[in-house]
Structure 1
Amino acid sequence: MLQRNPAPSRSMSPRRLRLRVRGVVQGVGFRPFAFGLARRYGLSGFVLNDSEGVLIEIEGGAVEEFRVALRAEAPVLARIDAVEVEERPLGHDADFVIAESRGGKAATRIGADAATCPECLRELRDPKSRFFGYAFVNCTHCGPRYTITRALPYDRAQTSMAGFAMCSACAADYRNPENRRFHAEPVACPACGPRLSHQIEDIAAALLDGKIVALKGIGGFHLMCDAQNADAIAELRRRKARDEKPFAVMVADIEAARRFADPSAAEEDLLSSAARPVVLVDERGKLPAGLAPGLSRVGIMLAYAPVHHLLFDELVRRSPATPVALVATSANPGGEPLAATNEDAERRLATIADLIVTHDRDILVRADDSVMQVVAGAPAFLRRARGFVPEPVDLGSDGPSVIALGADLKNTVCLTRGREAFVSQHVGGLDNAETLRFERETVDHLCRILAIRPDYAACDLHPDFRSVRLAEDLGLPLVRVQHHVAHVAAVAAEHRLEGALLGLALDGHGYGADGGVWGGELLTLDGCRWRRPGHLATLPLAGGDRAAREPWRMGVGALVTAGRGDLAREAFAGVPEAARLVAMLEGGMRVAETSSLGRLFDAAAAIAGTRMIQTFEGQAAMEFEAVAREVEADTAGYRIEKGVVDFRPLLVRIAEQGLNGTAASSFFHATLIAGLAEWTLAAARTEGLDRVVLSGGCLANRRLAEGLRARLSAAGIETWLPQAVPAGDGGLSLGQAAFARHVVANDRTQVEEP
């Protein structure tokens, strides 16, 4: 319950203030909140939504009390960035009213979608409520926001609820300042709102019968099946052509999550947050191995939409003695983007799902589930989407508007406005026409909802990236940003780090400034100036792109270039092509080389016998990390010379000693962390820098991220990890945009005019 401030003194002289409130203040119940405060303090005036946020004018003797309470008691989903105050002449209003919204060029923003709040959940289950069993119940504290909004200001006419006329009961709630649905734009009930295409009972029956269900939710469709039915999981994998990549699991609540997994307190907080992301947690062996083959953690999320809660309630009613868990994976066949429209689902999911459940509330902006983990005690993104987008990253200062097109893997788009950087939801891999179309949709929607025509575009250096071609087609002055510089710049931008710093960029691959394949880089960065004082020793990419899919090739190349072709023949005796590749490399065959840490992980995993062929990106490294334990590092496992760190001695020792499984992984991780930390500290001393940012897709490896941070911090180095966006390519667009703004401000020779 809110604590009431003391009533104002009648002797206070009346004043009138205009308050301009900026931040996430539309669609979160801010106008009714301000209305209630004004009534509490006996003030007159008005509140309205406009293109810049919320505008309030208050008049009376307790305007200062109102100002204090406005920040202290703001609605749970609101985020106030600033309250600008202006004294105004007395207007002698008779009352305080909610006025009509005003349009204009948008300078405000809409909030992210939020999980069903406790009050709506209670109504959903209350037979006396008119919202009993209604799969679209919501209020100002919860429900869809970004995914149903076409444009700002956030009013019903600008959402996909525009076509649903409110019944008299909903209209009364909407107009009642004391109701929590006061000006809740998606408000609806069974009499006037959207409807599901199937009964909850039919959906539950199909799942219990081992069927696969495509269920339309908040940001798109899920493919669902019984997470305890190994046959159903195998069939879903077959139909979706997803052999081994892990599936996420949805459960009803935190108690259910504890039955199937072992979340820490920080992970439980993240699971229970209004965003309801998928969170990687230690599994308890209660679910089939086919859910996350070879991994020690499983992705868990709690039910977040009313339809999910109704479904779990029905499943529990039918089988009260059995804990319930459902596979809930994105409905995106063949690497295409998430299905979001009813027609799209019928066309693309008919060969996968036995039952397709739609509804008639359109999803205007598709958004996958966000995926997170806890690293060094703080939340970290693996995929940033529903529940967090479009929350901006504060860059700390104003600058030109830049649209950054990201990478071709794990693509996101970033648009800056003033001091804010808006990173889009996860788009995906730009290797098919559907995802390319989705990226263009995302660019158009960001520009429209923020009412921005960018001044500049930014993209990767890679000449063949599809994202680069889109950036070139925009017809804007263009800044090309080296891949790993963008990784470092993203972390510097989110933490608002100014001045020179050292960056450690560790990933799978990126186009280097010399045209080579980089991926394990020490970089200095100061605004738009950067250098590469160090890198990992290069390894041969035998077979080119095939080497990323076939880790045994990296293992062979590493051992042969270390002068141990004999070990390569022995370690890969079971691979038919290995002996021939060894002979070719020993004979001087010329191949491309890479400094990638991701490929070093592949080599180690292959030499240890963990994974010879990958069915999805990062599989070998993920499985290798899953079995690692704490052991002592071996400083003889690496060499540092002239800025280059060479871990081939570590791979040779693993092969010589015949290490595999936990022994190999533990030894590799411990020595890798020790070597990378020593290398980074030496560079920091040489460069005279005491700040290091860690970035790149390899930082998804929690053991690596925490180990590096701990060692560098213990040595007195300020160490920064990615938190606002993913460490991998999902955060690249933020770094591109931030770097491009520095270029425009300081070195326009790097800008290509259209």
Structure 2
Amino acid sequence: MVPDIETAEVIAFADDAERRILSSKERPIILLKKKKQLPEIIAPANKRIGVMLPYTPLHYILFYFLKKVLPKGSIPALIMTSANISEEPICITNEDAKERLNGITDFYLFHNRDILIRSDDTVGIMINGKFRMIRRSRGYVPKRIKLLYSTPAILAVGAELKNTICITKEKNAFVSQHIGDVSNLRSYNFFEETIEHMQKIMDCKAEAVVCDFHPDYLSTRWAINSGLPLIKVQHHHAHLASCMAEYGLDENVIGLILDGTGFGYDSTIWGGEILFGNYTQIERLFHLQKMPLPGGDAAVKEPWRTAIGFLYSCVPDYSVPEHLKEYPYENIHQMIEKNINTPYTSSAGRLFDAVAAIAGGPQKNNFEAEAAIHIMHAAVSVNIEEKYNYSLSKKENKEIKLGSIIAGIYDDVIQNVDYQIIAAKFHNTLISLFCNAVEVAAETKQVKKVVLSGGVFQNEILLAGIENELTYKGFEVFTHVKIPSNDGGISLGQAAVASKLISKNQQEVLFIN
């Protein structure tokens, strides 16, 4: 946090649009490009830093006294973090803070004005001249999103990570503030509090509930146990519908949906999908090749596992790269061969993890998507047009094979090609591959409208590259600006699908396999 725009531009670059949003009444955090004055310890291996301006009187008082004690020429900046342990909701009472932050906090600054409702800071980034929300919360909630159909009050309970809920009233959808990971008990309690609070402030009582397909999501279990009429919406269909709802679309579209995980119609883990459809009907046209996830959820936290799994599956008789030899790769081979705790996934998020780890990036994720973020920032400063070979079948319902891409990356690693070069070639490859796949899908279905959604589209290179290329090729491309592309937008998509189903007296979405 810095006291003003002038100070912000000492530590980061900001264009006119970024300056305008920084100083807006909403006061979000914006991820700005760093200047060299910042120590590397602040957001290491990241080309950007979150910057925000004061938005409460207390913030201004802090800077007033900070400027008095700082040596002349110092930068008046404060490193801020939310008052919570990772994955838990923020503290909102003095007593809660003393109990939960004991042992990690040196001093407390208390206030005699109580906080009624938790609301994290909104976080966003400018990509292609548009402000893209990564976390939609304080300042933007509960702004309405107009729906096409007026229905009884619908409660959509979202996904598991980055959870939000959505309540509809007449033709309006109201998406809640960021709740977080509801597998955490405190966050789950916050989830229940938010459901009650949103219905109270909107003066409505839910008459139907919508949830994700995943049977183990606590939000899904809550919906099932609510006693309300239940509608289930597949995860990636909800992503597609959320972007459609943002723009008031009500027609068939191509959906390029890229994320980390989502329970599919076939009970496998999806995440690299090209879909076709609308609110009430969906068809899976293409998906990334299903690859092993050795250890299941453990592989999400340890990309070295996915790296070994991808190499073992795509590069026959490969030699384990030196930086991966410290890990028990032979155990991973055995797990894959014997199908021991090794689900398969078409996830684009896991593809990023695997490639980052193969190329020499992070082998473990200390925070969500660390490896994917790392390889993106490695590619930002490299301007090349090279890409890896790939093949794409022009038939529907086909896997997009990854073998030649992974083999090309492996060859570069063995030849000691620079990590940044590999990162740039990988991004170039995905932009070309997905744009070609959309072209094939659109030619088959005779549509020119494309929606891009899913958490992988927080990758600034991928989003800008695909949006620009598809626009150049004559497509009308729709991308998120009002809600996040990640799972923070799932609840809106669920609500939009349910709204259309109810208006048509249709019981469930028609899936065309």
8 A Cα contact 1:630 1:670, kept in partner: no
8 A Cα contact 1:605 1:621, kept in partner: yes
Q: Which of the residues 96, 106, 111 maps onto 1:354?
A: 106
The residue aligned with 1:654 is 409
Q: Alpha-carbon deviation of 1:572?
A: 4.8
Secondary structure of 2:321's match? helix
1:672 aligns with 2:430: yes
Q: Alpha-carbon deviation of 1:646?
A: 2.1
Q: Which of the residues 615, 631, 636 maps onto 2:384?
A: 631
Does the C-alpha gap of structure 1 residues 399 and 565 become closer, same or farther in structure 2, counting only changes over 3 Å?
A: farther
Moved segments of 4+, more than 6 Å: 587-590
Deviations 1:176-219 (A, max 9, x none): xxxxxxxxxxxxxxxxxxxxxxxxxxxxxxxxxxxxxxxxxxxx
Q: Distance in 1 between matches of 2:307 and 2:317?
A: 11
The residue aligned with 1:460 is 212
Secondary structure of 1:469's match? helix
Q: How does 1:327-346 map to 2 (within 5 A)?
A: 327-346=79-98
Secondary structure of 2:79's match? strand
The residue aligned with 1:473 is 225
1:644 aligns with 2:396: no
Number of positions where the alignment pairs a residue of Structure 1 with one of Structure 2? 501
8 A Cα contact 1:559 1:565, kept in partner: no
Secondary structure of 1:304's match? coil
Q: Which of the residues 488, 494, 497 maps onto 1:736?
A: 494
Deviations 1:44-64 (A, max 9, x none): xxxxxxxxxxxxxxxxxxxxx
1:744 aligned partner, one-letter code: I
2:130 aligned partner, one-letter code: A
Q: Which of the residues 175, 178, 184 maps onto 1:423?
A: 175
8 A Cα contact 2:31 2:48, kept in partner: yes
1:649 aligned partner, one-letter code: S
Unaligned runs of 5+ in 2: none
1:293 aligns with 2:44: yes
Deviations 1:445-489 (A, max 9, x none): 000001001121100001111001111232211110000000000
Q: Distance in 2 between matches of 1:430 and 1:406?
A: 10
Secondary structure of 2:283's match? strand
Does the C-alpha gap of structure 1 residues 435 and 585 become closer, same or farther in structure 2, counting only changes over 3 Å?
A: closer
Q: How does 1:63-212 map to 2 (within 5 A)?
A: none
8 A Cα contact 1:635 1:675, kept in partner: no
1:621 aligns with 2:379: no
The residue aligned with 2:457 is 699
Q: Distance in 2 between matches of 1:288 and 1:638?
A: 43
Does the C-alpha gap of structure 1 residues 588 and 431 become closer, same or farther in structure 2, counting only changes over 3 Å?
A: closer
Does the C-alpha gap of structure 1 residues 414 and 573 become closer, same or farther in structure 2, counting only changes over 3 Å?
A: closer
Q: Alpha-carbon deviation of 1:399?
A: 2.5
Q: Distance in 1 between matches of 2:453 and 2:118?
A: 27
Q: Which of the residues 10, 13, 25 maps onto 1:274?
A: 25
The alignment yields a C-alpha RMSD, in angstroms, of 1.7
Q: Alpha-carbon deviation of 1:539?
A: 0.8
2:496 aligned partner, one-letter code: A
1:538 aligns with 2:296: no
8 A Cα contact 2:448 2:475, kept in partner: yes
Secondary structure of 1:530's match? strand
Identify the range of structure 1 (311-320 vs 476-485) with the bigger mean alpha-carbon deviation. Answer: 311-320
Unaligned runs of 5+ in 1: 1-249
Instruction: Name the TM-score, length of structure 1 as normaliser.
Output: 0.65
Does the C-alpha gap of structure 1 residues 311 and 590 become closer, same or farther in structure 2, counting only changes over 3 Å?
A: closer
1:690 aligned partner, one-letter code: K
**Structure having the higher Rg:** 1
The residue aligned with 1:308 is 59
Deviations 1:356-386 (A, max 9, x none): 1121222111100000001211111100001
Identify the range of structure 1 (316-325 vs 632-641) with the bigger mean alpha-carbon deviation. Answer: 632-641
8 A Cα contact 1:571 1:607, kept in partner: no
8 A Cα contact 1:412 1:426, kept in partner: yes
The residue aligned with 1:574 is 325
Q: Distance in 2 between matches of 1:748 and 1:587?
A: 43
Instruction: Name the TM-score, length of structure 2 as normaliser.
Output: 0.94
8 A Cα contact 1:635 1:674, kept in partner: no
1:719 aligns with 2:512: no
Does the C-alpha gap of structure 1 residues 590 and 413 become closer, same or farther in structure 2, counting only changes over 3 Å?
A: closer
The residue aligned with 1:612 is 363
Secondary structure of 1:748's match? coil
Q: Distance in 2 between matches of 1:472 and 1:396?
A: 26
